[in-house]
Structures are given as structure tokens and as C-alpha cells.
Amino acid sequence: MDLFARTRASADAFWRQIGKKPLVMGILNVTPDSFSDGGKFVSAESALAHAAAMEAAGADVIDLGAESTRPGFSPVSEEEEWARLEPVLGALLARTALPLSIDTSKAGVARKAMVLGAALINDVSGLRGDPAMAEVAAKTGAALVVMHHRAEVDPAIDIVEDMIGFFAQSLELAAKAGVSSAKIILDPGIGFGKTLEQNLAALAATKRLQQQFGLPVLIGVSRKRFLGALTGLDTSDRLAANLAANLDGLARGAQIFRVHDVVEHVAAFKVWTALANA
């Protein structure tokens, strides 16, 4: 019996969509402490309702997270993370054909999710958090998001060169484990160990990352602190700033956008694409 047949099929179907249009990844945090929506979707009922709303709004993939990665977050055990995730993931897989992404740095959680049929592993540690993660990605056939992540902020470094070195090492780890480079997506890791200026430089480097590695780029800026620093707006009032940053990312060649506000981004991307093709 092929435990990961659904994962491979869903990952392949997702991959075929990359480049055809901007892909919207809807965020579903089943956590009590995420920075923007912590506690809103901890029950299976509320999480499933939100997932259904994002699918109806036009999301192309839904990213489920059961452990917060906000600054100062409290780590949870693999058992607790899976206990939060499993009921929502299982029910959602029974209700939707959308590919599902699992936001985790734990190889055990990722493998269990792929057994059920999730399509993507979204690893904010860039394969550095759990040495078994690359092997899980290889054996399951999942698509893999590798995110740049610095443990400490260092204003003195060239963040773009740091990203390039980091991704080169992550891709080496993936290759040694047998992960196909045709299933890897890069995420510059906006807000993870970067100053305001470094966040802006990381976003501006989207095209360079694609040219350097030949891989798709995912942008995740939704409601993040650097937008508040630029605008002076609270988390709940940053929609216009989110749209501006993501449309700039689209213009620079990013293909996937991780967002809370699916309706507005789907509409904005449709208009941008129509104008670009006019």
C-alpha cells in the first residue's frame, strides 16, 4: 500500500498551477497564541468554517499551523501540535480537494500529516529545526517550502547574501536526502530575524532569488510588524499595506502568497493580471 499516494498526487497538481496565475495560500492557525488570529480557530468547527470560507473566496491552497511562530512564541511538544492539527486536517481532507499545507518544523508532525494526504510541508526553519525533515519530504513526495530564518537580528549583515548562503545549504540538505528540486519553494522569511530595512531588502530580492536558484518564491507578509513600522497601523488595519507589498512581490516575480485576507488578494491579483496582460 502506498501511504503517500494522495500526497504525491496533490503536490503534483499544486505544482502544475505554479506560474499559471498568482497562487493564494490561505492561513489557518489552529493555535491559541498566533500574533494575528490566535484563539479564533482552535475549535474544529470554527477552523473548518474558516477553511470553507477561504476556499469559496478563491484560495488555491490552505496552510494549517498548530504551533505559533510569532516572536516570543511558546514551543509545544510534537504530541500537542498533532493533537491540535489532526482533527481539523482529517475533517478538511474529507471535505475539500484543495491542496493542504502543514506549517511545521517537526518531521513527525509532517509525516503524520502526509499519511493523511496533505500536499505541502511549510518549514519555517528551512530544514534546520529537525534533521529528519528533509528525509520526510523525500519519502512522502510532498512539495516543500524552505524559509530563510535567522535566530538573531544582526543589522550589520547583507541580508540578501545571507539568504543566498542559507538557501544553498538548505538545498544541499534536501538534495542529500533525495528531495526533488522540482518540488522546492523558497520563502525569504519576512519578519524572521530581520530589521525593517532587511525585510525590505529581502522582498526586493525576489527576482534575484529566482535567478540564483531557479525555484518559485513564496511571499508571506500578511499583517506583519514591519508593515506596522512603515504605516503606524495596528495589525487589524494593515490590509492596504499587505496588498501593496504582495502586488510589488507579484511584479518582481513571486508566485505564491501566504495571506489572511483571501477575498481581497484574489480580487487584487485578478485586476493586476488583467492589466499586465492588456
112-134 tens-digit pLDDT: 999 999 999 999 999 999 999 99
Position 37 pLDDT exceeds 60:
no
Block residue for cell numbers 538557501: 167
Number of CB atoms found within 10 A of residue 38's CB: 16
CA distance 206 to 191: 15
State the pLDDT at residue 34. Answer: 46
pLDDT band at 144 (very low <50, low <70, confident <90, very high): very high
CA-nearest of 118, 137, 10 to 64 is 118
State the pLDDT at residue 38. Answer: 46
State the pLDDT at residue 151. Answer: 87
Block residue for cell numbers 492557525: 29
pLDDT band at 147 (very low <50, low <70, confident <90, very high): very high
45-56 tens-digit pLDDT: 888 999 999 999
State the pLDDT at residue 140. Answer: 97
Q: Which domain holds residue 195?
A: 5-276
If 0-12 CB within 10 Å is exposed, 13-18 middle and 19+ buried, where does residue 255 land? Answer: buried
Position 106 pLDDT exceeds 70:
yes
CA distance 224 to 220: 9
Position 98 pLDDT exceeds 80:
yes
pLDDT band at 75 (very low <50, low <70, confident <90, very high): confident
Q: What is the three-class DSSP state of 49?
A: helix
HSE, CB side, 13 Å, CA atoms: give it for residue 95.
17
Mean pLDDT of 264-278: 96
How do beta strands 100-103 and 256-259 pair? Answer: unpaired
State the pLDDT at residue 35. Answer: 45
State the pLDDT at residue 137. Answer: 98
State the pLDDT at residue 71. Answer: 60
Query: What is the domain count for the chain?
Result: 1
State the pLDDT at residue 47. Answer: 86
Mean pLDDT of 5-9: 96
Mean pLDDT of 230-235: 95
Strand partners, 256: 23, 218
177-188 tens-digit pLDDT: 999 988 999 999
CATH of the domain at 156: 3.20.20.20
Cell numbers given for 262: 483571501
Mean pLDDT of 87-100: 94
The rounded mean pLDDT for the chain is: 93
Distant-in-sequence, close-in-space partners of 43: CB < 8 Å, separation ≥ 6 = none
Instruction: Supply the residues annotated as catalytic.
Output: 224, 258
